[in-house]
A and B are shown apart, each in its own frame.
Chain A
């Protein structure tokens, strides 16, 4: 038994370390000022996929990312950690895609990868925080989905059992392949690189990287594992009116920088009853839990 796994990953600006030039005067993210990183929850997803690979030897992991050519960086990063290969879905036509258009393009790419047992992805990306792309991709692939995955409980040749992290507790669910799973930040952190994999895959590159840096693509004949696939919209049979701005009904009018401030104080005597009611109130208002 072996499983074919796809991990959806995104290279995002590191919004966790925001400096004062992080936003443009127009209120959009200033991508130049922020380092590009592997979206954190996608790393949780990759770890879950790698755990399956550990448990089911012979399984393969293909990482799919949509973005500019430099997104190949996170494919290499994934290969350093244990992924087998990856694809960068890159096309100017894909620029401006909202979650609807993005999930369409990604579902087309997953179809091109072939018959896949599990598609993993992070719950959401830190630049958009929509948590929509994973579920929408599952819908377009017409497969079931398990969201908010926190822990891989079991995997067999036909199904997977996963613990979900919900607002007020956890839920253990089982689903048959094929399916899509989105990982929650509370899931296991992704493993470190492996030294030999770093040395093996550090020279992997994509077509656009070869063009930009003058790398010799003949190397791919000698060492096929060094090729990072790069597909455009046509390669994955995207219809032009369903991608990019044309395929995106969402229009961002304005982004505000909202600063939350404390408005009221409550002072409680430290009694058991008071603490109990405070915790209940905090859970009810979704502040904790």
Chain B
């Protein structure tokens, strides 16, 4: 039922969001059929395979969910219009095991076979993501390894209480790793996703910790009166950008994790937050209200000049960056209260041109993937909340329902 709802919501939202319907040349994508050969049919597996293939932007998937024998080279005549048939078999008698075979639809010749296993069957979605990622690599398409990554997010539960949760990118797998108290702003500390930074409110002042998700080892990084948020991590993981307020004034600092040195980057008597490294990490973009409303600015680290990046909108209060690409959320409600309309826009440090990525609903928390090819965001609409993904190159997008969770911050 959940997956049926997912498909319906996805189709509906594509229909109303004109900017997301621009299709890449259909002929460039590989046509593929899915056939399950397990003893019992698993509808969730079909939907996972289908969404993985779709969000890659490299495949056109047959809408029919076929079942048949896993072994052998017989191809259903109905599948002959496809280029490939992906046969898969799932077994959870001991942990979870997924076996996949890729056959040429024309002659049934096997071109790929592999099995994947994981001790906990709850992590089954990661098996599908890995299989599709491998399949994508086999056909020499640009990498979609980002689908294998954990998403980490904080969600509010009750006043002054939150949880930090791990999920796969579809939110089919979820595990709460910190519950109780108020713990916010999780950000991955390293490219391998072994540790993350987060802000704890357990003490008198907010404190930034780094926590290893496998060993539980926790290290205090810094604390600050008022607020303490890790906004970005350098590529080598040795420096972080934080917003903190040692004298009550929220400004952006860079912390050298090796020496512990803190370097103040912004000096403004208003609000400067959300620093993100750009270019070769010698400059940052950030959100500031220095023009009287929240907007996106950039400055060199160690330099005094600040320049405006976005010349559009009157309330641009969140951004993310990847090299010279910048994505930001702009509040576009006609009234102060009432419906919240936030849309996402893509721009660049090299240009003043802006490209809208969404046009309807409330779209917030934009986050680039590790390779900058895909943008994650949270969409709120009349039917509830969803986590969304926009493939910037193929213009493909997908939404997955997240059951009304009130997300505070997210990273992947």
**Do A and B come together as binding partners?**
no
List the interface of chain B (C-beta within 8 A of A): none
Binding site for B on A (CB under 8 A): none
